[in-house]
Amino acid sequence: MDNKTDLQDVTFLFRLKVDSIERLENILMVIDFISHHFDTNIYVLEAANYNNSIVRKLLPQKVSYHFVEDYDPILHQTKYINKAVENCRTPYLAVWDTDVIIDPGQIMMSVEWLRQDEADFVSPYKDKALDTTHIIRELYFKTRDLRILKDNKGKMKELYAPNPVGGGFFANRDKYVQSGIENEYFYGWGRADGERINRWKILGHRYKRVSGPLFHLTHGRGISSKFHSPRQDDIKFSEVLRIYTMSKGELEEEVKTWGDN
């Protein structure tokens, strides 16, 4: 495709633990979607107990790939986002989930706000996060036509209503680093999305949202895609509250300590 939109100043960052065939199919489809529409940079960090080279062989050659040996069955999302950001060399980045499709126009508006210095962080959707269902997912995979998703929104299930914030976001890299990047006290799935937005706002960063939906390519939910224990959920919620009650000065001192952990 010769008329791709230039996003060479952006890197899409993925972290991956292949816990199902659906997960593998989804990340390949999402990367295909991004690569079809944009001339951009894509970085995939895979964590697994050994490197079978399957993901590397299936990814397009232009995708940067990094493997980390990790025997933990739970993907420590925040830790690996931080590692990915360390390897990012572009002024802007997108932290992207393996299963997320968003209209190219919403993506472009997000990047333009960063380029024009109208925002430091942008969620590329606002209205709804919609789970595709297995049937619509299959139809999209067969056609690779975004209209399949747009025309069937009424048949999809809303995720995390009424104000979903997960799935992906764009950031000015320098401002993201200043904000502490990710809070590694969040281990596994859940709660970190809300915490980081609270943190950005407390620190005085500019956060905006683009109107339009997010489409989530459905998949089975293993231990890395749900709260893996009630105790862990309690710990995460306590951390959300701890950060939320801090002043700007307290939070600035807090994030300075995170790199020491």
What does the pLDDT read at residue 226? 47
pLDDT at 228 over 70: no
pLDDT at 93 over 50: yes
pLDDT at 88 over 60: yes
**Within 10 Å of residue 164's Cβ, how many Cβ atoms?**
21
| Domains, the chain, with CATH or none | 7-260 (3.90.550.10)
Query: Maximum distance among all alpha carbons in the chain?
Result: 52
User: 206: which residues sit within 8 A by CB, 6+ positions away?
Assistant: 118, 119, 120, 121
pLDDT at 250 over 60: yes
Banded pLDDT at 221 (limits 50, 70, 90): low
What does the pLDDT read at residue 260? 59
Q: Quote the crossing angle between the two packed helices 248-256 and 192-202, to the nearest 10°.
A: 120
What does the pLDDT read at residue 29? 98
pLDDT at 1 over 60: no
pLDDT at 212 over 90: yes
Report the candidate in 234, 260, 241 with the shortest Cα–Cα distance to residue 195.
Answer: 241
| Three-class SS of the chain | CCCCEEEEEEEEEEEECCCCHHHHHHHHHHHHHHHHHEEEEEEEEEEECCCCCHHHHHCCCCCEEEEEECCCCCCCHHHHHHHHHHCCCCCEEEEECCCEECCHHHHHHHHHHHHCCCCCEEECCCCCEEECHHHHHHHHHHHCCHHHHHHCHHHCEECCCCCCCCCEEEEEHHHHHHCCCCCCCCCCCCCHHHHHHHHHHHCCCCEEECCCCEEECCCCCCHHHCCCCHHHHHHHHHHHHHHHCCCHHHHHHHHHCHHHC
Q: Dig out the tokens for 15 from the structure.
A: 């972290």
Tens of pLDDT, residue by residue over 153-164, are 999 999 987 788
Q: Dig out the tokens for 248 from the structure.
A: 């700007």
Report the candidate in 49, 48, 45, 54 with the shortest Cα–Cα distance to residue 24.
Answer: 54
What does the pLDDT read at residue 231? 72
**pLDDT mean over 101-114:** 99
**Is the CA virtual torsion 227, 159, 155, 149 positive or negative?**
negative
Report the candidate in 162, 16, 42 with the shortest Cα–Cα distance to residue 97.
Answer: 16
Can you give the pTM of this predicted structure? 0.92
What does the pLDDT read at residue 224? 46
What does the pLDDT read at residue 23? 95
Q: What is the mean pLDDT of the chain?
A: 92
Tens of pLDDT, residue by residue over 37-74, are 999 999 999 999 999 999 999 999 999 999 999 999 88
